[in-house]
A and B are shown apart, each in its own frame.
Chain A
Amino acid sequence: MLNAIIYALLSAIKISIVVGILLGTIAYLIWVERKVMAHMQVRLGPMRVGWHGLLQPIADGIKLIFKEDIIPSQASKVVFVLAPVIATVPALISIAVIPFGNTISIAGISIDMVITDVNIGILYILAVTSVGVYGIILGGWSSNNKYSLLGALRSSAQMISYELSLGLSLIGVIMISESLSLVDIVNSQAKCWFVILQPLGFLIYAISAIAETNRCPFDLPEAETELVAGFHTEYSSMKFALFFMAEYANIITVSAVAVTFFFGGWRGPFLPPVVWFLIKMALCIFFFVWLRSTYPRFRYDQLMKFGWKILLPAALANILITGLVMVML
């Protein structure tokens, strides 16, 4: 009985810490993105609120809460309200199986630095994130606006297409480590990071992860030059903010998966594991921002052709090569 209580308490503490850090990071990611992009374009970015605009996320949050919440008169109301929630919740809960440190022991109790280590680990992440696409589709449909609907249709086609390559690109790593659990995958990278053994797999993962999170150069669902703002055109106030939170939470999740699968997870010399994990993740997130300020957007037919005719065969070839090499050696 005591063990059960301790377990429940520990889980609650871990969940609140991880979710708290996650939400804080999301708020400051927007500031980081604005700052980094500004400096890349020889501007200064937000400077007014706090030192170098450090309090900008708080100001933005307060502004969004107090804004008028508009629901279009022809919208289907229940779905319209539900859509941002459907987008955000899967994005937040997919972080649950990511290990962010080695097992530590405090006062005789050993604590795993992961919320829960399930034996289907990566399948859980893929399953949960695949539900997130409904937020975008239903949001676009329920707004009763042609631009929203076009954005939603584009995004659903894009996400289905790139989800395949995303899943297949990870199979090479799973084959080598012989486990779906993310803790085991980190442990099997003690000698050599999988990015060295699986360079093609990593490349495919990186490209499809950017497409899955609807980020530039694959941000067609919200292409502002042609679709106003895409699927969230009609959204305002906190509902709009929820869509943004979902986008940044997804960026954090795919970065965390990239670190776990290809860059050795929390492993690294000298510094504590959690710090290593955060450093690697920050570099991955920086890569996203860097891409956004560098590349123009794809055209829609190019995106589909690239996804189905290049990425998917390449991902399948990667599995075949991995299998052949593993049998030969």
Chain B
Amino acid sequence: MLEGLLFIIMGLITIVCALCVVFQKNPIYSAIFLIQTMVSLAVLYVLLHAQFIAAIQVMVYAGAIMVLFVFVIMLLDLSKTDVEAGRDNLLFQKPSAVILGFILVVMIGIVTLKTVFQGTKGEYTPESISQIGNTQLVGKMLFTKYVFPFEIASILLFAAIIGAIVLAKKQIIEDKKV
């Protein structure tokens, strides 16, 4: 009962923060609201008995990735003319955002209809998870059943790191020539 009430309140806070991310003019404020969104999501995970995921959510998203976001926004220091000049060039953004958003909503809708409303119960109920231990179960799953997607994700991250190095290296070589 209390948990359900908390869940609804936290869900509302998350949605309001997410909307604020989009509607804020100043990019720093957007970033601050995005941090708040991440932290509220972590609270939702705790309420769903997924403490490990919640801790990782705060640590990785709120603690590491968003620090880099804020860092970059501060270094860029966009002036008002830059912001307005940038707005005109991104005409394709609005229709593509609408289409992608629609696809996402449909996907979430299908998954919700398939699981929540049919009331099928999975193998791992909160009771069985609390017996084995949250972290242990996530680890076991990642290294047995989901080992292939897990490794694919690591290759994806590796490719991103190489891409970042190539981009940065190009700049350094150009600077040396000058």
Q: Which residues of A contact B (CB under 8 A)?
A: 76, 79, 118-120, 123-124, 126-128, 130-131, 133-134, 137-138, 141, 149, 152-153, 156-157, 159-160, 163, 180
Indicate whether A127 sits within 8 Å of B63 (C-beta atoms), given known contacts A120-B134, A120-B135, A141-B28.
Answer: yes
Interfacial chain B residues near A127, Cβ < 8 Å = 42, 55-56, 58-59, 62-63
Indicate whether A131 sits within 8 Å of B135 (C-beta atoms), given known contacts A120-B51, A137-B67, A153-B75.
Answer: no
Q: Tell me if B21 is interfacial: C-beta within 8 Å of chain A.
A: no
Interfacial chain B residues near A134, Cβ < 8 Å = 35, 67, 70
CB distance from B146 to the nearest CB of A (A): 20
Q: Tell me if B64 is interfacial: C-beta within 8 Å of chain A.
A: yes
Indicate whether A133 sits within 8 Å of B63 (C-beta atoms), given known contacts A152-B74, A153-B71.
Answer: yes
- Considering the complex of A and B, which 6 residue pairs feature the smallest CB-CB distances, nearest first? A130-B63, A123-B55, A127-B58, A127-B59, A127-B55, A120-B51
Bound form: Cα–Cα A166–B63 in Å: 14
Indicate whether A160 sits within 8 Å of B67 (C-beta atoms), given known contacts A119-B134, A131-B62, A152-B74.
Answer: yes
Bound form: Cα–Cα A79–B27 in Å: 13
Q: Which residues of B contact A (CB under 8 A)?
A: 26, 28, 32, 35, 39, 42, 51-52, 55-56, 58-59, 62-64, 67-68, 70-71, 74-75, 133-135
Q: Does the CB pair A130–B58 fall under 8 Å?
A: yes
Q: Does the CB pair A163–B58 fall under 8 Å?
A: no
Bound form: Cα–Cα A180–B135 in Å: 8
Bound form: Cα–Cα A153–B134 in Å: 36
Interfacial chain B residues near A149, Cβ < 8 Å = 74
Q: A128-B58, A130-B62, A130-B63 are in contact. List 13 more A-B contacts (CB 8 A).
A: A119-B134, A120-B55, A120-B135, A123-B56, A126-B55, A126-B63, A127-B58, A131-B58, A131-B62, A137-B74, A153-B74, A156-B70, A163-B63
CB distance from A113 to the nearest CB of B (A): 22
Choose one: B26, B39, B67, B134; the contact of A133 (CB below 8 Å).
B67
Q: Does the CB pair A119–B51 fall under 8 Å?
A: yes
Bound form: Cα–Cα A152–B71 in Å: 9
Interfacial chain B residues near A126, Cβ < 8 Å = 55, 59, 63
- A to B CB contacts below 8 Å, 30 in the list: A79-B28, A79-B32, A119-B133, A119-B135, A120-B51, A120-B134, A120-B135, A123-B56, A123-B135, A126-B59, A127-B42, A127-B59, A127-B62, A127-B63, A128-B58, A130-B58, A130-B62, A130-B63, A131-B58, A131-B63, A133-B67, A137-B67, A138-B32, A141-B70, A141-B74, A149-B74, A153-B74, A156-B67, A156-B70, A159-B67
CB distance from A150 to the nearest CB of B (A): 10
CB distance from A115 to the nearest CB of B (A): 16
Across the two chains, which residue of chain A brings its CB closest to B75? A153
Interfacial chain A residues near B74, Cβ < 8 Å = 137, 141, 149, 152-153
Interfacial chain B residues near A138, Cβ < 8 Å = 32, 70
Bound form: Cα–Cα A163–B64 in Å: 9
CB distance from B109 to the nearest CB of A (A): 31
Interfacial chain B residues near A133, Cβ < 8 Å = 63, 67
Bound form: Cα–Cα A153–B64 in Å: 14
Choose one: A76, A130, A152, A157; the contact of B64 (CB below 8 Å).
A130
Across the two chains, which residue of chain A brings its CB closest to B53? A120
Across the two chains, which residue of chain A brings its CB closest to B28? A141
Q: Does the CB pair B68–A160 fall under 8 Å?
A: yes
Bound form: Cα–Cα A133–B66 in Å: 11
Interfacial chain A residues near B134, Cβ < 8 Å = 119-120
Across the two chains, which residue of chain B brings its CB closest to A132? B63
Choose one: A76, A79, A124, A157; the contact of B55 (CB below 8 Å).
A124
Across the two chains, which residue of chain B brings its CB closest to A128? B58
